[in-house]
Chains A and B, each alone.
Chain A
Amino acid sequence: MHITKATIHGFGKWVDTTVEFPTSGPVILYGENESGKSTLQAFILFMLFGLPPKQRNFYKPITSGKMGGRLTILDPEVGRYTIERLDNLRNGSAVCYAEDGAEYDETWLKSRLKGMTDQTYRSIYSFSASDLAGLPKMKEEDLGEVLLGIGLTGTTAIYALESSLDSQISRLFKPSGKKPLINEQINKLDTRLGNLQKAKEQEATYREKKEAVQKYTENIEEASRTLQHEKAILHYNERKLQALPYLKKYWSVRKQLEQLPNELPFPENGGERMQQVKDKLLPVKSEYALLLDNRDKYEKKLYALETNDGDSNEETLQEAYKLKKEAEEYVAEKKEVSNISKQKEQLEFQMDEELNQLRINVDKVKLSEINLPFHTEKTWGELKAEQDTLDVEQSKHLEESHQLKKERTRLLSQAESLEEGLLTENRVEELKNKIYKIEENTVRRYSDTESKFGQNPLQSWKQKKKKANQKLFLLSFGLAILLILVGIIVENASYYLFAVITLTAGLLQWWHGKQSLTEIETFANTDGVSAGLVEKREAEHQLLLHERASSEIATLEAQLKSLDHTFALWQERGEQFQDRQNILTNKIDYERAQYPFLKGINVTYWLEIYHHLKHLIRLSREENRLADTLKQRTEKQDRFFERLNVFLNSSKWGKQDSTQEEKIVVLEKWILHYEENESEKLHYQHLYKETTEQLLSVKKKLTVYEETYNELLRYAQVQDENAYYERANLLSEKKQLQVTVARLEEQLQSFLRDENAVIPDEPEMVEQSNTVKQNIALLEKDMEDYRQQLADVKAELTQLEISGEYSEAFHTFSMEKEELHQSVRKWAVLKTAKGILEETKRKYRDKYLRRVIEKTSEYFYKLTGGDYQNVYPPVDGKLFQVESKDHVRYTVDQLSQGAKDQLYISLRIAISNIMSEKHRLPYILDDAFVHFDPTRTERMIQLVKELSNKQQIILFTCKEDFLQYFELENIIQIKNTVRIK
C-alpha cells in the first residue's frame, strides 16, 4: 500500500495544501521544528483511521472553517483509490472513491486495512526517537521481557499490564495467605458459619422443647389425677370415722325389723276407710225404712179412687167431648140459618122487580133454564154491526147512481156540439189532394239535382218522423198499462179512466202522424204544379181544424165509454149488497129460533137484552144455592139432638122431659165431674212411682257400702272389726322402723356399699388415713417440680420464639457470602485477564517469534555492521541473547546502550516487516535516528532504502544532513510558514 497524494482542505495549521508522494523509494518529509511535520503525520493517520469528534475539534484550523481532506492510495490488490474525510460531513467518517468511479464507505476501508487500528498501527508501523528514550530506565532484569513484548507487539505495554495485574490479583487473593481480601473474607465466613450452625442447633431444639412441654404437662395432669384420688380416700376415711355411732344404730334397727313378720296384709289407709264406710251406711238404712212406709200409704189411696170412678170409661168420655163440640156448633149455626133465609127472601123480591121492568116473555122458572154460551154476546154484537154497515153502504150506493147519470148527460151534450163543427169526408179528401198536387210541383223542380244523391231530404225527414210517431205511441201505451196497474193496486176506477184516455191519445197521435206523413208523401208525389202557396195554406188550415175537432170527439167518446164501464161496476156492487143482506137475515132468524124471547125485538137491542138476562140468571142461581144450604143445616141439627138423647139416656144423668138447651148443660156437668176424678188419680199414681224408684236407688247404695265393709275385712284377713284395728296398729309400728332404716341408709350410703354387715375397726382406720396423708405430701412436691420444669421449658421456648438469632445470623451470613462472591468475581476478572494475556503471548510467540527473531538477527547484523550475527529470544527465564561475530553470546543487559537501541530498532522493524506480509502499510519513522552517529545513520538509511522496496516508508526529519543520502525526487520539503502564536 502506497500513499501517493495528500490533499488537505484544513487540518491544524495546514489549509488547502496538496502533498504529492514519490511513487518509489522512501518518502523523506523534511521540515524544521514546528513546521507541521507531526500535524501532517496526524493527518495521514486521521485519513486512515478517523478521529473522535473531540480530537477533530482540536485539529480544526483557526484560519479556515473547513476541516478534512483527501488521501490517495495505491493498493496492489484494488488499485488506486482516494479516501475523503470531512469533519462536518458524515461525522468524520470516510468515503472512498475508486478509479473506476465506485464509491465505498468506512467499512470497506476498514476491510482494506485488515483489522489495523490507530493504536496498533502506531505501535507497529510508527517509530520515533522518543520510543527509545525509555529503554535506559528499564531495570535490567525486566529488559528481556520488555524487549520480548516489543518483539510481540511493538510496544512495552504487555509488560506494564502484566505487572499491574499481578499486583492487583495478589491484593485480592493468595492461595496461602491471610492478608488478601478474599482470604480474610473466607476466614470471617468460617466464623459466621460456626455461629449459624450453633443458632440452627439452638432452633432445632424447638421441637425437643415442645415435646418436653407436652411431657411435663402430661406428668402434671397425671400427678394431679393421683393426688385427687388420694385426697378422696382420705376424706372418705375421715367421714367414716365420724359416722361410726350411726352405723351401730343402723344395724340394731335392722335386727328389730327382721323379728317382725314379713307379710302384714292390710288395706291401704285401712282404719280411716273403715270409719268412712260406717259413717255412710247408717243414714242410708234409716232412709230406706221411711220410704217403705210412704209407698204403702199411696197404694191404699189409689185403690179408693179406682172404686169411686164407677161405669165411666174412656169411650164414653170421648163421646161426651164430641157431643159438647157439636153443641157449640149448633148454637152458632142456628143464627146463620135465620140469616140465610132472610137473604133468600130479598133475592126473590129483586128478581121479580127486574123481570117486570124488562117485560119479556120470561119468568123466574124459565130464567134458570136459559143458557147463554160465551160466544152469544159476540155473535149478537157482530150481527148488529153488520146490519149497521149494510144500511150505510146501501145509502151511499144510491147516491153514486145519481152522480153517474148527471155526468153522462154532460158528456153527451158536449159531443153533440163538437160534431156540428166537423167537415165531411169528401171535403177532407178534396183538400188533401189539393195540397198533394201543389207539393209535387214544387218537388219536381229540384228532383234532377236531388236524384243524383239517391236520397232526398224529404225521405230522411219522413223516416225520422215515422220513428218519432212510433215512439210516442209506445210511450202512451206504456203509460196506459202503468195507470191500469196502479188502478188495480189502489182499487180506484178513475185510474182506469185515465189509462183509457192516455191510450186513446197515443193512438190518435200515432194515427195523426201517419196521416200527415201520407199526406205529405201524397203531396210531394202529386204531379203538376200547385195552385199556389195561398191555396195550399188555406186547405192546410181547414184540415187542421177538422182534425182538432175529430180528436176532441174521440176523447169525449172514450170518456163516455169509461163512464159506462163505471156504471156497470156500480150495478155489480148493488147485487153484492143484496146478497149480504140475505145472509144476515138468515143468521138473525137462526138466533130467534134458538132464543124465542127475541122474537119481536129488533136486532139492534139484542146486546142490551143480553146483559140484563145475564144479571138475572146470576141472581136466580144465587137463590137456588141459598135454598140448598138452608136445607142441609136443618138436617144436621136434627141428627145431633138424636145422638145427645141416646148418650144422656145411657148414663144415669139423663131426663126425658128437659129441653134441648138444658140437655146441653147436663152434658157439660158430666164432663167436669169426670175430669176432676181423673186428675186426682194421676197425682197418686205419680207419687207411688217416685217412691218405688227412690227405694230402688237407696237399696243399691246400701249394697255398695256393705260390700266395701266386707271387702276391708276380707283384705285384712280378719273376721271382725276388732281384729281389724289390732292389725292396723302393728303395721304402723313396722313402718316407723323402716323409715328409720331408710334414713340411716341415706346418711351412711357410702359406708354401707362395700363392707356389708361388718363394723369397721377404728384404730385401723386412723392408721390408714395417716399413710394416705404422707402420699399426698409426696405427690404435691412432685407436681411443684414438674410445674417448675414446665415453666423453665416454656420460658426457653418463648426465648427461642422471640430471639430470631438464627434469622439474624443467616442474613448476615448470606450477605457476607455475597460480599465474598463479589470479591471473587473481581478477582476472577483479573485472573482471567492475566491468564488470557499469558496464553496469547505463548501462542503469538509460537506463531511469529521465530520469524521475527530471524529478521531481527538480519537487521541487527546490518545495523551493527556485522558485529553481531544472531539474536536469541528469551527461553526458560533467561534474557534475550545476542551472538557476536566471534560467537560469544551476551545477554541483552550486557550490551552497550547503542547496541540496545539497535536491537530495539531491529525488533521494531522486524515486526513491522512480518506484519507487512499481510497488511503492507506504510511505515512511519519520525526522526528515529537523531542520536545516531554518521556510520550508524548511514547503515540505517541503507536499511531504510532496502526496506522501501517492499513497503512504503515515510521518514519525517528535521535534519538537513539526512537529505544528502536520498535522491531529490524522494524528498519533500515542508515549508509552512504558519506559526501558532
Chain B
Amino acid sequence: MKSIRFIHAADLHLDSPFIGLAYAPKLVLDSIRESTFLALDNLVQAAIEKQVDFVLITGDLFDSERQSLKAQIRLKKAFELLYSHEIMVYLSYGNHDYIKGNIHPITYPNNVQIFPDEQVRSFIHYKEDMPMAKIYGFSYEKRAVTEGKAKEYRLSDDTIPFHIGMLHGSIQSNTDHDLYAPFQLNELVEKDFDYWALGHIHQRQILKESPPVIYPGNIQGRNRKETGEKGCYVVELSASSYNTQFLPLQAIQFSKLSINATACIEIHQLEEEIQKACHHLAEEQPHMIDLSIVGNQQRLSAWEQEGLLEEIIDVVNATMQLETNWCHIFRYHSEIDYSTIDPYLYEGDHFIGELLRQTDKASIQPFLKDLYKQKQARKYVEMFAEEEVEQIKNEARHILLKGLMEE
C-alpha cells in the first residue's frame, strides 16, 4: 500500500517578539522569548513520534528584518535532530525570511531541501528508494512577490504517486494579511495535486477538504488576535484517501477572557474572580490573557478612573507568574461603551450638543503634535491606526461627557 505521512507547518516566525505586550516580569518575558523555539521543539518531537516521512515548512521561518542569529541556530539544531531520525525537510522562504534579506551564513544539514528561488521547482521524495512524492514550491527572493504564482505549478511525471504544492501567499479573499502571491482556490484545485501546503496566513483554515488545501496557521500565537491553539497538520495520504489532523504545538496560548463583574461590589471581589478564572484557564499550559470585564458601567468606570483596576491586575499578575503554568494578563479593558451616545444629544443647541458635533469633526493629529514634533519621540512613537484614532476619540468624548455631565 503506497502512502506517505508528513507534517505541514508554516509561519514559525522564530524569535519574533509579541506584539502588544507592554510589560511583563522577567520570568514571563523569558518564557515568551523561548516560546517560538519551544513550539519548534514540539514540532520536531511530533515529527519523530509520528514517524513522518518528511516535514513541509511553507515560509516565514524567521524574520529577516530583525535578524536573530539565535533563530537560525535553533532552527539548524532542530533540523539536525530531524536528520538524525532520517526525516527530510522541504522548506520554502516567504515574505519575512526572503532569501536576499538573510545575512547569516548558516548551513543546514543534508536532509533539508530548500526551494532556491522564485521559479516554481520541485523535489522528489524517495521512500525506500522509490520515488513517492513530488513537492513543488518556490521561495521569496525579495520582500514581496505580488504576481500570482498558482499558474506556474504544473504537475509532471504522474508515475509518482503523490504531488504536493507548497505555496506561501494569500488567498485573494483574505484582507488581513499583505496580499502576496495571490491565488484563488479554484486555481489550486484544478491542478489535480494531492495536497496544497499553504503558508502566510496565521489563522489556520481548511480552504478545501478534498483535495486538502490548508493554511496550518502559525505554530505560536504572537499577538492578542492569534488566540487559541496553534500548530501544524499531520497529513496522511494514500492512493484512495487522505487524513489530516491538527496538532497543537504552542508553548504559550493566547486567550481572551471575559469576566462578569456584575456581582462584584468591591474591587477585591473582582480580583478573586479574575484569579479563579485565570487558574482555571491555565491548567495545562501558560497563558497570555486578554481580559475584558463586563458589569456595572458606573462602577467599572469609577474603578478604572481611580486606577483600582490596574492595581488588581498587577496583583493578579504578580501572583500568577509564580505558577508553573503561569498566566499573564497583558491587556485588559472594561466593557464600557464609549461609542453609543444618546443621538438626541447631538441635536441640542447646548454646549454638549456642540461638543459632540465637534468631536465627530475633529482630527486628533493637531492635538498630538507636541509629541510628534519631538525628534527623540518620533523614533519610537508610531502613528495611530484609523481604528485606534476612532477609539481614542471615543474615549476622549467619554471623558468630556463624564466631566461635564456628572458633577
- Chain B binder among A337-345, A470-478, A815-823: A815-823
Whether B371 contacts A824 by the Cβ 8 Å rule is yes
Whether A157 contacts B33 by the Cβ 8 Å rule is no
A-contacting residues, B375-407, CB 8 Å: 376-377, 379-382, 384, 388, 392-393, 395-397, 399-400, 403-407
Residue from the list A114, A164, A808 in contact with B348, Cβ < 8 A? A114
B331-357 to A contact mask, C-beta < 8 Å, 1/0: 000000000001011111111111100
Contact (A153, B69) CB under 8 Å given A113-B344, A186-B380, A831-B367: no
* Nearest neighbor of B366 in chain A, beta-carbon distance: A835
Nearest Cβ on chain A to B359's Cβ, whole angstroms:
5
Q: Which residues of B contact A828 (CB under 8 A)?
A: 364, 367-368, 384, 392
A-contacting residues, B237-273, CB 8 Å: none
Nearest Cβ on chain B to A32's Cβ, whole angstroms:
28
Q: Does any Cβ of A come within 8 Å of B203's Cβ?
A: no
Q: How far is the CA of A123 from the CA of B350 in the complex (A)?
A: 10
Q: Does any Cβ of B come within 8 Å of A120's Cβ?
A: yes
* Nearest neighbor of B359 in chain A, beta-carbon distance: A836
Q: Does any Cβ of A come within 8 Å of B73's Cβ?
A: yes
Residue from the list A189, A815, A830 in contact with B24, Cβ < 8 A? A815
Q: Which residues of A contact B368 (CB under 8 A)?
A: 828, 831-832
- Chain A binder among B15-23, B89-97, B156-164, B228-236: B15-23
Whether A833 contacts B354 by the Cβ 8 Å rule is no
- Chain B binder among A494-502, A545-553, A799-807: A799-807
Q: Which residues of A contact B70 (CB under 8 A)?
A: 801, 803-804, 806-807
Q: How far is the CA of A832 from the CA of B366 in the complex (A)?
A: 9
**What is the interface of chain B mostly: helix, strand, loop, or mixed?**
helix
B84-125 to A contact mask, C-beta < 8 Å, 1/0: 000000000000000000011100000000000000000000
Contact (A207, B29) CB under 8 Å given A113-B344, A114-B348: no
Q: Does any Cβ of B come within 8 Å of A3's Cβ?
A: no
Q: Which residues of B contact A811 (CB under 8 A)?
A: 17, 29, 32-33
Contact (A810, B380) CB under 8 Å given A829-B396, A830-B399: no
Q: Does any Cβ of B come within 8 Å of A357's Cβ?
A: no
Q: How far is the CA of A840 from the CA of B347 in the complex (A)?
A: 15
A-contacting residues, B175-195, CB 8 Å: none
Residue from the list B69, B345, B348, B380 in contact with A189, Cβ < 8 A? B380
Whether A836 contacts B405 by the Cβ 8 Å rule is no
Whether B349 contacts A836 by the Cβ 8 Å rule is no
Q: Does any Cβ of A come within 8 Å of B46's Cβ?
A: no
Q: Which residues of B contact A804 (CB under 8 A)?
A: 68-70
Contact (A818, B21) CB under 8 Å given A153-B350, A801-B73, A832-B393: yes
Contact (A117, B344) CB under 8 Å given A206-B69, A821-B381, A827-B371: yes
Q: How far is the CA of A115 from the CA of B67 in the complex (A)?
A: 58
Whether B362 contacts A820 by the Cβ 8 Å rule is no
Tally of chain A residues near chain B (CB < 8 A): 75
Q: Does any Cβ of A come within 8 Å of B374's Cβ?
A: yes
B-contacting residues, A565-579, CB 8 Å: none
Residue from the list B20, B24, B347, B358 in contact with A115, Cβ < 8 A? B347
Whether B399 contacts A160 by the Cβ 8 Å rule is no
Q: Does any Cβ of A come within 8 Å of B4's Cβ?
A: no
Q: Which residues of A contact B21 (CB under 8 A)?
A: 814-815, 818
Q: Does any Cβ of B come within 8 Å of A843's Cβ?
A: yes
Whether A157 contacts B405 by the Cβ 8 Å rule is yes
Q: How far is the CA of A830 from the CA of B395 in the complex (A)?
A: 8
Whether A815 contacts B23 by the Cβ 8 Å rule is yes
Q: Which residues of A contact B384 (CB under 8 A)?
A: 825, 828
Q: Does any Cβ of B come within 8 Å of A161's Cβ?
A: yes
Q: Which residues of A contact B66 (CB under 8 A)?
A: 810
Q: Which residues of B contact A113 (CB under 8 A)?
A: 344
Q: Does any Cβ of B come within 8 Å of A410's Cβ?
A: no
Q: How far is the CA of A843 from the CA of B357 in the complex (A)?
A: 11
Q: Does any Cβ of B come within 8 Å of A680's Cβ?
A: no
B1-26 to A contact mask, C-beta < 8 Å, 1/0: 00000000000000101111111100
Whether A115 contacts B348 by the Cβ 8 Å rule is yes
* Nearest neighbor of A174 in chain B, beta-carbon distance: B370
Q: Does any Cβ of B come within 8 Å of A483's Cβ?
A: no
Q: Does any Cβ of A come within 8 Å of B71's Cβ?
A: yes
Q: How far is the CA of A119 from the CA of B355 in the complex (A)?
A: 15
Q: Which residues of A contact B382 (CB under 8 A)?
A: 821
Q: Does any Cβ of B come within 8 Å of A903's Cβ?
A: no
Q: How far is the CA of A120 from the CA of B342 in the complex (A)?
A: 12
Q: How far is the CA of A189 from the CA of B22 in the complex (A)?
A: 13
* Nearest neighbor of A204 in chain B, beta-carbon distance: B103
B-contacting residues, A14-41, CB 8 Å: none
Q: Does any Cβ of B come within 8 Å of A219's Cβ?
A: no
* Nearest neighbor of B353 in chain A, beta-carbon distance: A115
Q: How far is the CA of A114 from the CA of B21 in the complex (A)?
A: 46
Q: How far is the CA of A800 from the CA of B70 in the complex (A)?
A: 8
* Nearest neighbor of B23 in chain A, beta-carbon distance: A819
Q: How far is the CA of A864 from the CA of B70 in the complex (A)?
A: 83
B39-66 to A contact mask, C-beta < 8 Å, 1/0: 0000000000000000000000000001
Whether B22 contacts A837 by the Cβ 8 Å rule is no
Q: How far is the CA of A114 from the CA of B347 in the complex (A)?
A: 6
Q: How far is the CA of A110 from the CA of B22 in the complex (A)?
A: 44
Q: Does any Cβ of B come within 8 Å of A507's Cβ?
A: no
Nearest Cβ on chain A to B337's Cβ, whole angstroms:
15
Contact (A808, B33) CB under 8 Å given A186-B380, A824-B381, A840-B355: yes
Nearest Cβ on chain B to A249's Cβ, whole angstroms:
59
* Nearest neighbor of B349 in chain A, beta-carbon distance: A918
Whether A186 contacts B354 by the Cβ 8 Å rule is no
Whether B350 contacts A124 by the Cβ 8 Å rule is yes
Q: How far is the CA of A245 from the CA of B104 in the complex (A)?
A: 64
* Nearest neighbor of B367 in chain A, beta-carbon distance: A835
Whether B400 contacts A111 by the Cβ 8 Å rule is no
B135-150 to A contact mask, C-beta < 8 Å, 1/0: 0000000000000000
Q: Does any Cβ of B come within 8 Å of A419's Cβ?
A: no
Q: Which residues of B contact A210 (CB under 8 A)?
A: 105
Nearest Cβ on chain B to A836's Cβ, whole angstroms:
5
Most chain B beta-carbon contacts within 10 A, residue among A124, A189, A811 = A811
Whether B396 contacts A836 by the Cβ 8 Å rule is yes
Whether A820 contacts B381 by the Cβ 8 Å rule is yes
Q: Does any Cβ of B come within 8 Å of A165's Cβ?
A: yes
Whether A822 contacts B22 by the Cβ 8 Å rule is yes
Most chain B beta-carbon contacts within 10 A, residue among A175, A803, A835 = A835
Nearest Cβ on chain A to B6's Cβ, whole angstroms:
29
Q: How far is the CA of A165 from the CA of B397 in the complex (A)?
A: 12
Q: Which residues of B contact A843 (CB under 8 A)?
A: 354, 358
Whether A806 contacts B351 by the Cβ 8 Å rule is no
Whether A815 contacts B29 by the Cβ 8 Å rule is yes
Q: Does any Cβ of B come within 8 Å of A152's Cβ?
A: yes
Whether B69 contacts A815 by the Cβ 8 Å rule is no
* Nearest neighbor of B66 in chain A, beta-carbon distance: A810
Q: Which residues of B contact A808 (CB under 8 A)?
A: 33
Whether A116 contacts B362 by the Cβ 8 Å rule is no
Q: Which residues of A contact B370 (CB under 8 A)?
A: 173, 175, 831
Q: How far is the CA of A160 from the CA of B403 in the complex (A)?
A: 8
Nearest Cβ on chain B to A961's Cβ, whole angstroms:
31
Q: Which residues of A contact B353 (CB under 8 A)?
A: 115, 120
Q: How far is the CA of A164 from the CA of B395 in the complex (A)?
A: 15
Contact (A825, B399) CB under 8 Å given A801-B69, A808-B33, A918-B349: no
Can you give 24 A-B contacts (C-beta < 8 A)? A114-B349, A115-B344, A117-B344, A117-B352, A120-B352, A120-B353, A153-B350, A157-B403, A161-B399, A186-B380, A807-B70, A811-B29, A814-B17, A818-B21, A819-B22, A820-B380, A825-B388, A827-B371, A831-B367, A833-B395, A833-B400, A835-B362, A839-B358, A848-B349
Q: Which residues of A contact B (CB under 8 A)?
A: 110-111, 113-117, 119-120, 123-124, 152-153, 155, 157-158, 160-161, 164-165, 173, 175, 182, 186, 189-190, 193, 200, 203-204, 206-207, 210, 800-804, 806-808, 810-812, 814-815, 817-822, 824-825, 827-837, 839-840, 843-844, 847-848, 915, 917-919
Top 4 nearest A-B pairs by Cβ distance?
A115-B348, A115-B347, A161-B403, A835-B367
